[in-house]
Each structure stands twice: as structure tokens, then as C-alpha cells.
Structure 1
Amino acid sequence: MVRFKNRWLLVEFLPIPAPTPGRPSTAHSQDELTSKQVWAALKQSVITHFGDTGWGAVGSSLTIKYFSPRTNLCIIRVARDPHKIAWASVTLLNAIDGRRYIPNVVHVSVVVASGTIKQAQLAAIRHNREIVARYRARAKLPVGYQDSFEEYLQTSAQEIEALQD
């Protein structure tokens, strides 16, 4: 029996605020993304940039395993051989449902020893902690301050750790 070998991409979608005349632009004024929208946009990006051949190579294995609408952090599973097509398509993606985003590929499990979901999970948890630390630093909050981010870190870590291959 042959094992299906995967690669895992950890991607953060950074929203680009749309400037509105007379109103200050904020990234939070946009509707929240869903994993279905991300998958559909990624599919369209693969087809646009690599054609039907690229989609044929990637399509059967491409899955969104985790998506957080709060942080726009996404874990994508793809087969080992065509993972570079998916990686390039994520990088070339610039809009999802008409809203502009900058995809930031945070982690790719490509090394033989770390080609598992566990490494992507650890990278996602680490990335969430870094983002919360940046928010707290911008707000100039003390280190021991308890806020809603602490609860979010706990629940997101549990959700991410519950993912299975």
C-alpha cells in the first residue's frame, strides 16, 4: 500500500483596504472570508496561471484544512509532487471575491522530516502568538494584560491541534 504524501502551506491573507472618498480606509470594514471563497479563488488562480493541466495536477488533492476568518490564516493541503503549482498560485492570487488581498506564505512543509500536518500546526500556533504580540505591542499593553486575544489563542490552538491528516 502506498501512502499519499502531502505538502502543507500555511498562508495568511492580508486585506488591502479599499479607499473610500470621505471615509478613512480600514481593513476591518470588509466582510469576512470563508474557506470556500479561498478554495474557489485558489482554483481560479491555478486555472488562470497554469491552465487545465495545472488544475488536473493539483485539483484532486487541494484542500483547505483550516481557515480562521479572524486572522485570515489558512492551512492548505496539496499533493507532494504538484505542491509548487499550488504555492505559485497562492503567491499570484491578488483578489478573492472582488476584495484585494496580499497572500503571505508563512510556512511550507517541504522537508522530508517535516512534511506532516504537525509542523504546519505548530507554525500556525506560533504565527498566531506573534500576531497577537504585535497587536499588544501596538496598543502598548502590559505583558500580563488579559484580553479577548488570550481566549482566542487558546481556542485557535485547540482547533488547529484537532486537525488530522
Structure 2
Amino acid sequence: MVGFRNRYMVMEVFLDPDKGFGGDDPIILTQFNISKGIKDSLLENFGECGLASSLISFQVKYVNPITKLCIIRASRDEHQKVWAAITLVRRIGNCSVLFNLLDLSGSIKACINAALKCEGMKFEHHKLLLGNRLKDDDVNQQLQSSLEKIKTLEH
């Protein structure tokens, strides 16, 4: 008997604060609001039947609100529909968003490796942008916290 097959997508979320309600961070990304945005897009673009068939394995496994990186799981049969719905998401809450696929893999281990690589690069970029406004201890603590969270996805 063959086990249930999934696909894992490492996605980058771009926020557009100018089209939202203003401020530095117009919305805090969470598993709930990303999941709701994708489910709303599935319902709008593929109807109730498309939503129901996609929800069999759909889950937002990981979200980092600092680096705007997330990991999304979908069934192998429905991953293209979920991916299409993700590209059609234009708003989360009151903020305009755009998703960018960084990696698509068939195993959680490969997905974790890709996410760790992306997180490391994004944290370095984040540290350069903030410069001396952030203490190195804070950045290292945030990095360690997110790396631990990613590593626990395997279990």
C-alpha cells in the first residue's frame, strides 16, 4: 500500500504597505490569516468542490512574520490547484500581498533544508537593513527561535 503523498511549498510573502492601511508592518502574518486567504482564493476561483478537494491535506505548516517566509503542505493530486489559488491571493486582511514560490518538494526534509537556507539569507538581509537599531543578541535569538521551529516540523 502506498502512503499518502504530499507536496511542500516554501513561499515568500511580499507585503505592500502603501496599498494597505499604512504603518511599517501593515499586518502580522500568522498561520491563520495566510490559511484563510488561500482558502478564500480556492473558494472564489475553484468553487466549493475545488475547495473541499484541496482541503484534504492543505495546511500552513510554518510562518515567520519577520522574514515573511512560510511553508505550505498540499496533497500531490491537488498541489497545482493550491499553487494556482496562492498566486491569485491579492489581499490578506486589509493589506495587499504577493506570494513567490521559492521551493517545491515532495518531502518535508527537502523542504526544511530549503527553508533553512532561505531563512539564513533573509536574516542576514534583515540584519543589514536594520543596522545598528537591532542588538546582535536579539537577531541571534530570533534566528535560533525560527530555526528550532522549522526543525520541529519533521516530528
In the superposition, the TM-score normalised over structure 1's length comes to 0.81
How far does residue 156 in structure 1 lie from its aligned partner after superposition?
A: 1.0
CA separation of 1:139 and 1:102: change in aligned 2, threshold 3 A = same
Structure 1 CA distance for aligned equivalents of residues 98 and 88 of structure 2: 9
Structure 1 CA distance for aligned equivalents of residues 116 and 88 of structure 2: 25
Maintained 8 Å contact 2:27/2:93: no
CA separation of 1:161 and 1:97: change in aligned 2, threshold 3 A = same
Residue in structure 2 matching 1:131, options 122, 128, 141 = 122
Residue by residue, what CA displacement relative to the aligned partner does 1:7-42 show, whole Å, maximum 9, x if unpaired?
00111211101269xxxx976342312211111110
Structure 1 unpaired stretches of 5+: 110-114
Maintained 8 Å contact 1:16/1:27: no
Q: Percent identity?
A: 29
Structure 2 unpaired stretches of 5+: none
Structure 1 CA distance for aligned equivalents of residues 22 and 129 of structure 2: 16
**Equivalent position amino acid for 1:163 in 2:** L
Query: Counterpart of 1:54 in 2: which secondary structure?
Result: helix
Report the counterpart of residue 78 of structure 2 in structure 1: 82
Structure 2 CA distance for aligned equivalents of residues 35 and 139 of structure 1: 25
Structure 1 CA distance for aligned equivalents of residues 117 and 139 of structure 2: 14
**Equivalent position amino acid for 1:73 in 2:** L
Report the counterpart of residue 57 of structure 1 in structure 2: 53
1:155 aligns with 2:145: yes
Structure 1 CA distance for aligned equivalents of residues 70 and 148 of structure 2: 15
Maintained 8 Å contact 2:19/2:95: no
Residue by residue, what CA displacement relative to the aligned partner does 1:82-107 show, whole Å, maximum 9, x if unpaired?
10001111111110112111111111
Query: Counterpart of 2:136 in 1: which secondary structure?
Result: coil
How many residues are paired up? 153
Higher gyration radius (CA): 1
How far does residue 146 in structure 1 lie from its aligned partner after superposition?
A: 3.4
How far does residue 154 in structure 1 lie from its aligned partner after superposition?
A: 1.7
**Equivalent position amino acid for 2:152 in 1:** A
In the superposition, the TM-score normalised over structure 2's length comes to 0.86
Q: CA RMSD in A?
A: 2.3
